[in-house]
Chain A
């Protein structure tokens, strides 16, 4: 910088200009070696020389924006410039209260320690000593300028020899986040160190620079040892693409959200890398969680007139994805018992599931309902309402493991084509609207979940038949004995029962391939199967009764159910034959009878 080109207002004016630029250059040198965000990534790539670089013949590159705002130094050069280099360390105490996070109050502690304090001050002579311009003073500012050049070079080296430069290098050189950060504070006053802090710090004073009529003083109080601070990189998972996303048939469908939340590792100092919303340290990150954003509250330092933070600080980041995820993981954690009950699994959305109204009726707000639905969708179970807790296993994630109610022979009486039969609804306490919701919900599920459309369609088809079987299952309670005769059933009802039963079984087996379902089907088979040993008396009595009734002959049925011997039966058969022959002889017709087995 050629001083001859300066505005020749006055010698004192030139000196003031030198002093003010000296302050700015000192600040630039200090911040350039302490604050990573202010340090240019590759200073060698920028070959141009700025006007500010020409001052003191030291090319430093672009001045930080914060320096441009420090115009108050020009107003009063006598005020000291105090630069505090503060080490901010991530605290270990983490608040588990959701309210703190949601309300914005900081739930995470951070310790701040002043590791360096630079003092740059221009001391003018006491009043009363008039400083008059003289020939000597013309060269005084030049001497001051030359000495300032030498001093600033030594300052440039000194900042890189102090211990704080090591942690600056750590932050600058590595791309991974750390559990600490460095911020700075520039002010004209500062709180003095406590006695304990003073004992831990050393002071180095530069030789004052003559700046007639005053002098420039520069000193630094620093911590000689920084090993007491546990400065280390954060062990967070790097962002990665989750190939085995939840909901894929190839993955274990029995996964569920963990009930315990490990929030220690959620928040990081995103110094270098802003993680994508899917980069989470949790077991099962889900894409829908990124929909919830909670702005992070800026943590403010107290008692600081001018505080500048770097963009690396998690305080200043609008919404770090880690903390963002933490925020909406909290509601899940709160409702952990809810999830333990139903074991929701994506990608089914509970909002479209027929059973979700049952589980979400205790939710406090629709938003939370939506939150739970978005964060933990439900597999669409069999169409069960009211008795769902009885028949549906806790594990919803595997539809094949759903235990469906056993089929009922009554299902044959109902039309399978119509999904909503009013007759089957008589014992169902849920309103009919739920059935309608089921149908529409099923359709909606198909729309919302394209990837699992195959599985959905299977469920949907099985639901229609299982729905009917469920209705009939309620009616099964009316049966007191599996071999009771149903007065209402037509003669060929058993055959039709078998046909429908087989049809239901097929449709059931189509949709549900689980052991529980198979067991249910087997039980139903056993219950509705025809007796293994057909009682001849019952059979023949039935057919005989029909014939007798047709002929108008009344018989008593009381004897049919009495235990008898074979000889009695044969004797009775003989008597019947005689009666038959008698009747035939009278009518003149011959009836062929079959010998009983």
Chain B
């Protein structure tokens, strides 16, 4: 089974926009890959005039928010760098058990790369803020520049969502069969240049 890779369009975001942008993209991807019984939940972004869809699972939402916070922490420690967030879907294969090992193998069948270019004007926020709280970074740019940049980011974010829709419709054969009672395929969220500790398993 081949692994389908999708490189999403790069987004130029400010620090305070990271949370909303990542939340939107990650949930959209997971929603298209949660092929079990799902009650969709429509969410309106606060910073942009965009509506996206979640799976309506509180646990899933919590886990994704935790990963987003980890990414933000990494960005704060490594400013002015282009960063990536990778979400991978895999299957668990059991290797031949032996005396010493009982390893399981992961077969990644799909990977999504979210490319972010966090702007230089950022403020370091110590500690964890509430996931739903939006911190507005005033910055030093003029109002017109900020609004133009915000509009451009909204357009780019919308293009990213359309890109996801197009990808999930074009590539379907590689998706594994759905197991009864299973809602989500196993996935993990990583920062390629910094391995995160959290891995989601079924």
Contact = CB atoms under 8 A, between A and B. Distances in A.
Interface string A38-69: 00000110000100011001111000000000
B35 A154 contact: no
Contacts of B28: 157
A150 B177 CA distance: 12
A150 B38 contact: no
Which of B35, B42, B52, B169 lies at the interface centre, i.e. has the most chain A CB atoms within 10 A of its CB? B169
Contact of A2 (B39, B51, B56, B180): B180
Interface string B109-120: 000000000000
Contact of A59 (B35, B39, B50, B52): B39
A125 to B, nearest CB: 20
A151 B166 CA distance: 10
Given A49-B37, A156-B40, A150 B168 contact: yes
A57 B169 contact: no
A161 interface: yes
Interface residues of B, number: 31
A528 to B, nearest CB: 85
Interface string A155-174: 01110110001100100000
Interface string B24-42: 0000100110011111111
A146 B175 contact: yes
A360 interface: no
Nearest to A54: B37
B51 A59 contact: no
A60 to B, nearest CB: 8
Interface stretch (B6-14, B90-98, B122-130, B157-165): B157-165
Given A158-B165, A160-B42, A165-B51, A149 B35 contact: yes
Interface in B164-179: 165-166, 168-170, 172, 175, 177-178
Main SS of chain A's interface residues?
Answer: helix
Interface in B42-76: 42, 44, 49-53, 56
Contact of B161 (A59, A146, A161, A165): A161
A499 interface: no
B32 A166 contact: no
Given A150-B168, A154-B165, A57 B36 contact: yes
Nearest to B55: A153
A160 B38 CA distance: 17
A157 B165 contact: yes
A523 interface: no
Contact of B169 (A44, A150, A161, A165): A150
A560 interface: no
Given A146-B172, A157-B31, A161-B50, 7 more contacts: A44-B56, A54-B37, A57-B37, A58-B40, A149-B35, A166-B49, A169-B44
Interface of A: 2, 43-44, 49, 53-54, 57-60, 146-147, 149-151, 153-154, 156-158, 160-161, 165-166, 169, 206-207
Interface of B: 28, 31-32, 35-42, 44, 49-53, 56, 158, 161-162, 165-166, 168-170, 172, 175, 177-178, 180
